[in-house]
Amino acid sequence: MLYLALMTVAPTAIADAARILREGGLVAFPTETVYGLGADATDDRAVARIFAAKGRPSFNPLIVHVPDLAAAEAVVEFNALARRLAARFWPGPLTLVLPRKAGVSLLVSAGLDTVAVRVPADDTAQALLRAAGRPIAAPSANASGTISATTAAHVADSLGGKVDMILDGGPAARGIESTVIGFARGPTMLRLGAVARGDIEAITGKLHDPQGIEGSPGRLESHYAPNKPLRLNATDARPGEALLGFGTNVTATSNLSPSGDLIEAAANLFAMLRELDAGDAVSIAVAPIPQDGLGEAINDRLTRAARR
């Protein structure tokens, strides 16, 4: 049965969600990035339910969410640089891909010998992870290849009755997925995300290119896609188009950030794409987004969305 808790998530709702997870069910829950579709990462059947619910290719790995570094150390083997990144960015929107330990389902990493792990900062996510008492595999809570969910309503719209419970913690604060770093060939940017490249490179030095490296979620060429065609770097809207603006686009249908704030733009990205996708326009045009800071991750998501 689908169940939506209140925006201020009650302890009883957390307890119910934790029980559902321990029994092999699926729970959608908020994180500071996007909503996740969670299952017990140690339970093969539960993890398989994630793939079935999302229609997700089995070769696309999942991220394991844990409440703290000690819990992460039970799942993966840390190197010194990974520890430095965890100390700086956890809890927060950074995922580390590291050698697996025994106990986590092979389905989580699509059979690879690494596991993607992170410690979310969201209070509801933290409460759920601690109550569940086990690592939780959780990709974004939406049908595979579609726009990521940043509210509980987005989850219900995309997945409906395929989820046993939805915890509604309000809109995701960051609104864009976690940055993913791997270490197989030295520190590597596997996925752009809510932690900017420059902040990571201040610790790691220059990150390697991910070409030819497997093991990261969100690496499909076409991803985060609306149903309507998407045209990038648009200066105005053509007939039949809705314009998603940035900065001083006074004619925009919706505007990611009228003040040109990339943090605000990232937080609004998926929600506004969903809104325009549900509107009357036949296609969506998107204004140019600067490439610096979080703009790099925003442009990555838009480029993948345009490849539908």
pLDDT band of 267, cuts 50, 70, 90 = confident
Q: What is the rounded average pLDDT of the residues 195-200?
A: 97
pLDDT of the residue at 145: 84
Q: Can you read off the two tokens belonging to residue 211?
A: 């070409």
Put the strands of the sheet holding 114-118 in their side by side order: 165-166, 27-29, 36-40, 136-137, 63-65, 114-118, 94-99, 179-182, 188-191
Res 11: pLDDT: 87
Residue in the block written with tokens 């045009």: 285
Question: What mean pLDDT is predicted for residues 176-182?
Answer: 96
The share of the chain scoring above pLDDT 90, in percent, equals: 72
Tokens (6 digits) for 113: 């010998």
3-class secondary-structure state, position 138: coil
Mean pLDDT, the chain, whole residue set: 90
Amino acid code (one letter) for 127: A
Is the pLDDT at 89 greater than 60, yes or no?
A: yes
The mean pLDDT of 72-95, rounded to a whole number, is: 98
Query: Using 50, 70 and 90 to split pLDDT, how confident is the model at 144?
Result: confident
Joined together, the tokens standing for residue 228 give 């309507």
pLDDT: which is higher, 271 or 155: 155
pTM for the predicted model, two decimal places: 0.86
How much of the chain, in percent, has pLDDT values that exceed 70? 91
Q: How far is CA 96 from CA 73, 99, 168, 280, in A?
A: 12, 10, 26, 40
CB–CB of 128/14 below 8 Å?
A: yes
Least confident of 1-5, 49-53, 202-206, 256-260: 1-5
